[in-house]
Amino acid sequence: MNSSVFLIRWPLRLERLCSSTGLANKSCWQRDLGRISCIGYAAAVSGRHYASLPNSCKYTGSGLGTRRHISSETAARSSDAGDSAADNTLYATPGSATVFSDISRMDSLSPRQLRVLLEDAVTARVSDTNFWAKASSCAMSIAPQFKFFDTIRVLECFAAVRLDDRILVQEMVRNLTPQVHRMEPRHYIQTIDVFGRFGRFPEQLFMEVYYGLMRDAEKLYGSEYAELFLCLSRWEIRNPQLLAALCRALCTNISLLRYHELCQVASCARTLEVADTAFFMVLDEWQRKELQMLTLQELLDAAKRLRTQEIKWEPYDEALRKEFVRQTKEVKDAACIDQLADPFDCLNFLRLMDSVSKEFLLALTKWCEDAAHRPPTRSQKRPESHDLVHLYNLVRLVYADGGVNRYSEYNVDSTYLDKAILKFVTSKGGLQLRTPKPIATQYKPNRKYVYLDDPANPGKRRPPLQLAEGDVESVEADEAQKALQLRAESEHISEILDDLVCLYKTIPHTYQEPLPRGIDFKKPKKVSTQSCGKASFRLKPKTFRHKNVPATQTL
């Protein structure tokens, strides 16, 4: 098989080929290594060194046209090896595989293909300096052809492997500055972040970036406001005009911020030493309003997000946790628990916060008893076996303490949980559900009701309706009298109308006055003899023309 075809078809590991690229072509790229310095260290972000030469690489030929392939023995060994997820990174595109089989092909790549190649190299943790030197020289040769988003991504790739090429950065800045007016707000944030990682902020470029942000300050989304404040706080950019414009725009669009974004903006604004009292008053007022309007599921999502968030404002975070715990203590029935996307996920988070309440456990047992009757489909929420076991251990856990059996500290009634477990076991996890859970009695027209004991007061029955005989007779007499009165009124009205008709016919036509509204005897309507009032259709004589026959023949 041809080596190039083999390279394209075989899922080669990027780092295994690229780690030895510099060793084969080291003499050609010595002049490019002098200008490349390291940001911190020259290894990959993960700290793992991939530049060692593996024994599996077989070289044929020499010079720039060197092609490398992996032997069948090595391929079998690599397929059987249990590498980590990072080591199993494969080529993203066949173009990247072709370039890494022969590094001299990098000169023929377009700007977009070069950007994709560098992204693949970062994903595979390529740390060979000679490869990045060649990539830097190719990027500088086609720098005027880069779009602004490709330029930002190329610089991010060099920053990801912590390699600082000053000449490349200057060339990219010269190409990026005239294209700032085409950027979107997210591109401004990426530009600030990537040049902050290089440790330099070109004055002309950042003047255009700041003006662009001030111009588009009111067009940002809530997540973009949070990312921008975080980026400015990370690199300690305290431009007064930019911060003032952002604060004014954010006060106008404060409703775009979610709760975790609000916490991040409040913390970053204080880190940036924003001296706008009205801005912080708006943040505090919106935080209180947002906290009152959040549902239980939204509180859970915000609390989980804030737990892993890098920067947050502690007073807002503490208020959110208190509100979340308070609402979990106020749940009463299965309907409140059913609002959660995953009730047991909420239970696990409460255990992580050490805030499990007796009320929440009781409501959860009621929900399990109700949800155990649902079919086991993806569109239905129902407890699983491990969920019921976990809940049973919390509700009815028995442990020995000095020879004395002690029960769970929550002291929750397990009646509903026992019913849920019984239904789960007898239906084999819902696979043998015969009938759904009966619907509670509610009012419906023409429904026959069966009166049973009141669940709230089992010993009390509803008193029967008792009416005196006189009341019943008087009711019937009143109804009969009303019927007679209505009949008499209708007969009187019909007599008046008959008199009007007779009088109207005797008056000459020229002296006739208009009749009352709704009464018209001039045009009596005839009863239609056709169904639906549609016109009748008759068979028409069929006419046809033929050669030398101009007559019309009736069939």
Q: Tokens at residue 282, please? A: 């708006």
Counting Cα atoms < 13 Å in the Cβ hemisphere of 461 gives: 6
- 227, 189 contact by CB (below 8 A): yes
Q: What is the DSSP letter of 40?
A: S
Per-residue pLDDT, 105: 82
Per-residue pLDDT, 452: 65
What Å distances lie between residue 304 and 36, 190, 227, 313, CA to CA?
A: 42, 26, 19, 15
Counting Cα atoms < 13 Å in the Cβ hemisphere of 133 gives: 20
- 95, 21 contact by CB (below 8 A): no
For residue 60, the cross-strand partners are 67
H helices present in 81-128, as ranges? 94-101, 111-123
For residue 68, the cross-strand partners are 59
404 φ, ψ (degrees, to nearest 5): -115, 130
What Å distances lie between residue 524 and 212, 247, 511, 514, CA to CA?
A: 79, 77, 21, 16
Per-residue pLDDT, 100: 66
Q: Rounded to whole angstroms, how far apart are CA atoms 441 and 449?
A: 9
Q: Tokens at residue 100, please? A: 């890494």
Residue spans of the chain under pLDDT 70: 1-102, 397-408, 435-455, 458-477, 504-505, 507-555
CA angle 304, 307, 312 (to 5 degrees): 120
**Tokens 């000459």 identify what position?**
508
Per-residue pLDDT, 356: 94
- pTM for the model stands at 0.63
Per-residue pLDDT, 126: 87
- 89, 121 contact by CB (below 8 A): no
Q: Tokens at residue 351, please? A: 């255990």
Domain coordinates in residue numbering, the chain:
93-213, 217-322, 331-435
**Tokens 């919390």 identify what position?**
394
Per-residue pLDDT, 43: 35
Per-residue pLDDT, 483: 79
Task: Report the chain's terminal Cα–Cα distance, integer Å.
Answer: 84
Q: What is the DSSP letter of 63?
A: S
Per-residue pLDDT, 94: 47
Per-residue pLDDT, 48: 35
Per-residue pLDDT, 361: 95
Q: Rounded to whole angstroms, how far apart are CA atoms 118 and 14?
A: 11
Dihedral of the alpha carbons of 107, 112, 115, 119, in degrees to the nearest 10: -120
236: left (phi over 0), alpha (psi -120 to 50) or beta: left
- 238, 201 contact by CB (below 8 A): no
DSSP string, 369-412: HHHTTS-SSTTS----HHHHHHHHHHHS--EEETTEEE--SS--
Q: Rounded to whole angstroms, how far apart are CA atoms 457 and 455?
A: 6
Q: Rounded to whole angstroms, how far apart are CA atoms 284 and 281?
A: 5
DSSP string, 482-532: HHHHHHHHHHHHHHHHHHHHHHHHHS-GGGPPPPPTT---SSPPPPP-SGG
Nearest residue to 184 (alpha-carbon basis) of 139, 144, 152 = 152
Long-range contacts of residues 251-256, Cβ cutoff 8 Å, at least 24 apart? 251/278, 251/279, 251/282, 252/218, 253/218, 253/220, 253/222, 253/225, 254/282, 254/283, 254/286, 255/286, 256/221, 256/222, 256/225
For the stretch 442-479, pLDDT in tens is 666 666 656 666 667 766 666 666 666 655 555 566 77
- 363, 333 contact by CB (below 8 A): yes
Dihedral of the alpha carbons of 542, 545, 548, 549, in degrees to the nearest 10: 10
Q: Rounded to whole angstroms, how far apart are CA atoms 68 and 63?
A: 12
